[in-house]
Structure formats: structure tokens, C-alpha cells
Amino acid sequence: MINAISGSFRDPSSRVYAVDAPDKKGRAIYRGVDSETFENFQKLQAEPFYKQLENENRVVKTTLCAPADPVAKEILEAGWAGVMRHEPVSLVSYSYEWSFAMLRRAALLHLRILTDALEAGWTVKDSTPYNIQFEGTAPVFIDIPSFVPWQEGEPWVAYRQFCCCFLTPLMMRSHLGINHLPLLRSYLDGIPPVEAANYFRGFSRFKRGVASHIMLPARVERRIEARERDAVPAQDRSQRKVSRKYVLALVESVTRLVKSLSVNIEHTDWSEYDKTHTYDDDEFQAKKGFVQEFVQEKKPSCLMDIGCNTGTFSKIAAEHADLVIAADGDHDAVQKLFMHESTHSAHNNILPLVLDLSNVSPNQGWAGKERSSFDSRANPDAILVLALVHHIRISANIPMALFLDWLRSFNCDIVIEFVDRNDEMVVKLLQNKTEQYLDYSRESFERELQERFKVRASKELKGGKRVIYHTEPL
Amino acid sequence: MNNRKKLTLLVIVASIVHPSVALAYVDPGSGSVIVTTILGFFAAIAYTFRKYFYKLKRKMFGGKSDEEDSRALDD
């Protein structure tokens, strides 16, 4: 069945369609394009810079479909001049789920592609992170119709969009330590300079890039808004010309700026998990063995490790799964995993995402359909939920039944660990809490679990303070 | 309250109630061309200066090309 993807309507030159694969495992991705985009792509395919980007897997592999292709035929009937087929990405993720390092790497990929394109007489008309997806830790540019021939005198048309979506959130995190993810989740088109300028006060305005890329644009926008408000006609600025040398120099200067931005990984409860967990060596090996046995037997195509910390168990799973979605609410733990996987990964099949598990990314954007919820994008056939239940029940105050219902909705095998009340970490959680969560007990957890899942195996850890279960849906 | 005080109060109130993001008629991106022209001009000067500086530095001390360095995806 052919479905137009609900988030692909902004650019009128094309529309993306997803077609379910016959085995229901994954989807094929097609794109209907107008005649101009069709002709552009034919020229683009012959460009050495594009071929190199494709060979290096920096842009998604794309081919033109023969008009006789049954899917292409159906898309052509919708009025498009041509049809492209893209290699699908493993999982669509959004910039509000990426750690600082991921956003920075996506920004650098965009700048690299733009530089190569400009030098070859092309440009990239959009500059949004939704055009970039991650395969493991490698960013891939997916919006091929964004490549258009550069017109003489044309400025960097997507400069503002680049700043709003990439540069500003990176500077806010790096210079001010502000968590950029909730802002990007609210501002789907990026953080406008006028808004960003409110965060930079006093000496922070003198930090690298702030005056040029936040304060100046904010000032210009405020002045234009003040001069051209009410009945005053808007000035035509579309005829202004900029030399390509200026454009390339600006892109190069922004590349240097992005490279100079960094954040330190703080010692949080999760970012040092490998050294600070409360198991002794034998118990930790036993837990690893239980997980290892599960993934070895199951060989999942997509495993989701929720509450992954720095990915100790995601790495074990990655040896046997095609894709591991490693999700945690702790930015620094996820960033640490991303940095580790960038340099040490053998398979490049772990996608680390920052997700507050008590409030995962919802459906949002136009009509609530433009950006889809995390639940609807992820289609795991196995889930690890290790030492998370106590945080969901006690810290986030979500009843166990609701959490287990959510897990059951994925309809797949789950390895889940229960941490009992006498475990020192639960004792710490309950310390200074008025509400004592009396329903939080092993008996109650097992009852709720067995209403939804069949327990295939279980093992006590830490002398019975923790229990790990392998379950399958009833 | 004299006029000066009234004006100061007005500015303070305006700065508090003035919406930072508004759906106005003027496209906020229309100022982008002004910004990119200004920044592009200075970036081009810096780029030219850096190019000659690194060329000289390379001749004197050796090392990798600055252009290669700026194109790499990672540091």
C-alpha cells in the first residue's frame, strides 16, 4: 500500500511515499518529483562531487524509477513528473532526540555537502536537520531535491534556517549550558535569533559566534519588523547579489565555528554507570550472561534498550541484532555512548537517542502529523528494560500497570529487571519521599507482568534484591 | 512623573510585553540577505588572510593543508 508521508509537504517540488515491503519488515521509500527536480537530479547524478558523496554514504543512495515500475506508475498518476527511490534509513529520528555531538556532526555534514555543492556550481536550498538521518553514528543527507543549481549572485539562502536549527542550539548548549532539546522539540523550525538573543546576556554575548550569528541577525530582524510594520510596504530584498566567494567564505567560517563548539561530559548518575553500578563482578557477569543468552537466541532485527545509560547492554545486543536503539533521558550518558561508538564500534548499528522515557517524543507539527511520535517510528522485535521500573514508578510516578501496557503495545519479547524495595538504590529513591509507593513490590510487579506477558525465564540477582525476566507477549 | 520617567517606564513595559516571536507580515528571513552580505564580506577577508598565513606557515614549518582540516567532518 502506498502512503504519502505526512511530514513531507513543505517543499512543493516533491512528496515522499512509503510502501510496505511484502514481508512487512521495513518499507521502501519513493519520492514523486516535479519536472524541474527530475531534470536537476539527472544532471546531479553525473556530478563528480555528488558521486563522491554517495560513495562515501554521505547522501542517501537514490535511483530514478522506470515509469513501468508498478509503484512508480501509481505515483506518476498522482501528477508527478518522475519518481525516485531512496534506500530506507533504519529509523527516523529527530534533532530533539540527538545529543550535542550528534547535532554537531549533522551540522558539519550539512556544511561539507554545501561547500562541495557550491564549489561545483550547485547549492542546497534547505538547511533543516529533518533532512539528515543517522545510520548508527553516521549522519546521512536524505533530501536529494534540496540540491539545486546555484544562481549567480545568490546568497546562502538557507543561512537563517541553518542558524535556527543547528548553530543556535549548539551555541546555547556549548556557551551557556542550556539544554537545547526541549527548545528544539518546541521550535520545530529552529530557535529564531530574536528569541535566542534573550538567552545571551552580559559577557556571554562576546562568546565566539554570538555577536555575528545571533545578536546581529536579531537586531536586523527587529529593525525590519519595526520599519515595515502595519501598512508600510515590505522592501524587496530579493534582488541583492552576493558573490560566491562571500558565500563560500561564510560557510567556511561557520564550519570553523561549529568545530570549535564543545561540551564537557558531566558526572551524572548515569554517565559513569560502568564504574558506579551497585553489582559485584559476579552478579554483573550473571546479568550480562542473561542478556547475552536472550539476544543470541532471539537475533532481533531491531532491539530497543530503554534506559541504556552508557550502553553496556546495548553493546552486547549489537553483536547479535541488526539495529539497537539505545535510549536514555540522560544527555551525557547518551553523548558518551555516541562518542564511544563513533570510534570503537565494529558494526555501527547502535543509534543512541536522548529520550525522557516518561515523556517520549509525541506526534506534533501541523495537525499533529508532521513529526511522528517515537512509539510510532520504532518497531522493535525485542526490548531491554534493565533497572528502569523503579525510576518509572517512583521518580516519574507512573503506575506499573500503565508502563507495562506501554511495553505490551510493542508486541514483542522483553527482558525486564525488577529492583525490589530492599535494594539500596530504591531505598535511596524513597528517602525523603512522603509517598512510599506501597504497591511497589515484587508480588505486585509479577502479577501485573503475568497479566500481559508469559515469563519464559527469570533469574535473581544481588541475593534476590533484583530479578531479571525474559518475557513474551500473551 | 516627568516625561523622562514616563518614557523610561514605557520602554521597560514595552520590552516586557513585546512578543519575541510573532506571526507578522514581514518574513523574518528577509533580513538574512543583509546579514549574509555583511558576514560574508568579513569572512572573505578573514579567509584570504588565513589562506596566506597558513601558506606561509606551511612553507616555514610544514604540516597539513588548512583547507583539508576545515573540510573534515570531525576534529
Sort A163 into a burial class: Cβ within 10 Å, 0-12 / 13-18 / 19+: buried
**Cα angle A107, A108, A114; round to 5:** 90
Q: Give me the percent of chain B exceeding a pLDDT of 90.
A: 0
User: Which ipTM did the prediction report?
Assistant: 0.71
User: Which candidate in A232, A256, A262 is best for mutational testing of the B interface (most B CBs within 10 A)?
Assistant: A256
CA–CA gap between residue A386 and residue A469 (Å, rounded): 10
Chain A residues within 8 A of B29 when measuring between CB atoms: 160-161
CA–CA gap between residue A191 and residue A184 (Å, rounded): 7
Residues 157-216 in A contacting B (C-alpha not used; CB under 8 Å): 157, 159-161, 192, 194-195, 198, 212-213, 216
Q: Which of residues B58 and A238 earns the better pLDDT score? A: B58
CA–CA gap between residue A34 and residue A245 (Å, rounded): 31
Q: Which residues pair with A323 in a beta bridge?
A: A302
Which pLDDT tens digit goes with each residue over A1-52? 688 888 888 888 999 999 887 666 678 999 999 999 999 999 999 999 999 9
What is the least distance, in Å, from the CA of A110 to any CA of chain B? Answer: 10
Sort A41 into a burial class: Cβ within 10 Å, 0-12 / 13-18 / 19+: buried
Which pLDDT tens digit goes with each residue over A356-383? 999 999 999 999 999 999 999 999 999 9
User: Which candidate in B15, B23, B26 is best for mutational testing of the A interface (most A CBs within 10 A)?
Assistant: B26
Give the B-side interface with A, CB within 8 Å: 20-22, 24-41, 43-44, 46-47, 70-71, 73-75
Chain B residues within 8 A of A105 when measuring between CB atoms: 73-74
Q: What is the pLDDT of residue B26?
A: 67
Q: Give me the percent of chain A exceeding a pLDDT of 70.
A: 96
Give Cα A195 distance to the centre of its chain: 24
CA–CA gap between residue A110 and residue A131 (Å, rounded): 9
Of A73-87, A211-225, A408-422, B31-45, the poorest mean pLDDT is in B31-45
| Residue whose cell numbers read 578573514 | B46
CA–CA gap between residue A267 and residue A336 (Å, rounded): 11
Which pLDDT tens digit goes with each residue over A136-171? 999 999 999 999 999 998 989 899 999 999 999 999
CA distances from A422 to A156, A271, A278, A287, A462 (A): 60, 24, 13, 19, 11
Residues 215-244 in A contacting B (C-alpha not used; CB under 8 Å): 216-217, 220-221, 223-225, 228-229, 234-235, 237-238, 240, 242-243
CA–CA gap between residue A343 and residue A137 (Å, rounded): 9
CA–CA gap between residue A458 and residue A449 (Å, rounded): 12
User: Which candidate in A189, A221, A232 is best for mutational testing of the B interface (most B CBs within 10 A)?
Assistant: A221
What is the least distance, in Å, from the CA of A49 to any CA of chain B? Answer: 14
| C-alpha cell of residue A182 | 526541549
User: Is a pLDDT exceeding 80 seen at residue A271?
Assistant: no
Long-range Cβ pairs for the range A274-277 (8 Å, 24+): A274/A310, A274/A312
Query: Is-contact A118 A247, C-beta < 8 A?
Result: yes
CA–CA gap between residue A83 and residue A75 (Å, rounded): 7
Q: What is the pLDDT of residue A96?
A: 97
What is the least distance, in Å, from the CA of B5 to any CA of chain A? Answer: 23
**What is the residue-averaged pLDDT of chain A?**
91
**Across B13-26, average pLDDT:** 47
Chain A residue nearest residue B21, CA to CA: A195
Buried b or exposed e, range A450-462, using 16+ CB within 10 angstroms: eebbeeeebeebb
Query: Is-contact A169 A94, C-beta < 8 A?
Result: no
Other Cβ atoms within 10 Å of A30 Cβ, number: 24
Which pLDDT tens digit goes with each residue over A316-331? 999 999 999 999 999 9
Query: Is-contact A166 A107, C-beta < 8 A?
Result: yes
**Across B52-58, average pLDDT:** 84
Chain B residues within 8 A of A212 when measuring between CB atoms: 39
CA distances from A414 to A306, A346, A437 (A): 11, 25, 24
Instruction: Judge: A250–B43 Cβ closer than 8 Å, yes or no.
Output: yes
Task: Say which residues have a Cβ less than 8 Å from residue A71's Cβ, sequence separation at least 6.
Answer: A2, A17, A19, A28, A30, A65, A83
Query: Is-contact A197 A210, C-beta < 8 A?
Result: no
**Across A456-472, average pLDDT:** 93
Q: What is the pLDDT of residue B17?
A: 38
Query: Residue type at A287?
Result: K
User: Is a pLDDT exceeding 60 seen at residue B70?
Assistant: no
CA–CA gap between residue A433 and residue A59 (Å, rounded): 51
With DSSP H G I counted as helix, E B as strand and the rest as coil, what are the percentages for chain A, rounded to 5?
45, 20, 35
Chain A residues within 8 A of B41 when measuring between CB atoms: 246
CA–CA gap between residue A12 and residue A27 (Å, rounded): 23
User: pLDDT band at residue A451, thresholds of 50, 70 and 90?
Assistant: very high
Q: Which residues pair with A138 in a beta bridge?
A: A135
Chain B residues within 8 A of A114 when measuring between CB atoms: none
